[in-house]
Amino acid sequence: MLTLGILGSGSGSNMQAILDAVESGQLRARIALVLSDNPDAYILERAKRNGIPAELIDCAPHRTKFPEAIQRETAEKLKRAGVDLVCLAGFMRLVKSPILDVFPSKILNIHPSLLPAFPGIEAWKQALEAGVSETGVTVHEVDIGMDTGPVILQESVAIHSDDTPEILHARIQIVEHRLYPEAIALHAQRINL
């Protein structure tokens, strides 16, 4: 059975969507481990409430850096839990070679824009500021860059003239929650997991 590990720094609504897809039988997988670099992230609470092992990746005192030694430990934890596909779901640190080397082509990320447009943080705000009429959602393989890597699935989301950042992000998240489980299933099938 496909065994997932999820890394997130925030509310974990994408983790919840993946779990819902697992529980409804839409996604044949199990979530073995949830990890967060943020001790206050609701994703940890959600995981525990659902009986999924959840742990903190303690990067203190580094605010944004993901030190190599901690990346190695993280990769080991995921391996020990039997994880064969890693899903980044709102994870705010850059994953580099200590994890990429252990999970080649086996780390996915979800990003709230039509990449390569608007990489980086708060992509929905970037789209609003750019004045474009549509943005979207991308699920892609993670490589050494930030929000680069081969695209697995993309879907566009319309921007309305009266959108606030909050309203647009909420509309994007509805698409994210449907697209991520689909992309996981598609990628797992392609690489024979």
- Residue 136 as a binder of ligand GRF (CB under 6 A): the answer is no
Helix axes 165-190, 13-23, angle to 10 degrees: 50
- Residue 90 as a binder of ligand GRF (CB under 6 A): the answer is yes
Q: Which residues pair with 86 in a beta bridge?
A: 5, 107
Residue of 4, 6, 13, 33 that binds ligand GRF (CB under 6 A):
13
* Residue written as token pair 């708060």: 122
- Residue 128 as a binder of ligand GRF (CB under 6 A): the answer is no
Residue of 89, 107, 152, 184 that binds ligand GRF (CB under 6 A):
89
**Binding region for ligand GRF (CB under 6 A) out of 5-13, 21-29, 59-67, 97-105:** 5-13
Among residues 24, 18, 21, 23, which one has the least CA distance to residue 6?
Answer: 18
Tokens at residue 123, please? 């992509």
**What residues have CB less than 8 Å from 102, skipping those under 6 apart?**
75, 78, 79
Residue of 5, 7, 14, 95 that binds ligand GRF (CB under 6 A):
14
The rounded distance, in Å, linking the Cα atoms of 176 and 170 is: 10
**Binding region for ligand GRF (CB under 6 A) out of 23-31, 60-68, 79-87, 108-116:** 108-116
- Residue 110 as a binder of ligand GRF (CB under 6 A): the answer is yes
Counting Cα atoms < 13 Å in the Cβ hemisphere of 152 gives 27
- Residue 46 as a binder of ligand GRF (CB under 6 A): the answer is no
- Residue 5 as a binder of ligand GRF (CB under 6 A): the answer is no
The rounded distance, in Å, linking the Cα atoms of 39 and 115 is: 29
- Residue of minimal Cβ distance to ligand GRF: 90
* Residue written as token pair 């996604």: 27
Q: Judged by CB, which is closer to ligand GRF: 3, or 11?
A: 11
Q: Does the active-site annotation cover 160?
A: no
Residues lying near ligand GRF in the complex (CB under 6 A): 8, 10-14, 89-90, 110-112, 173, 176
* Residues classed as catalytic: 111
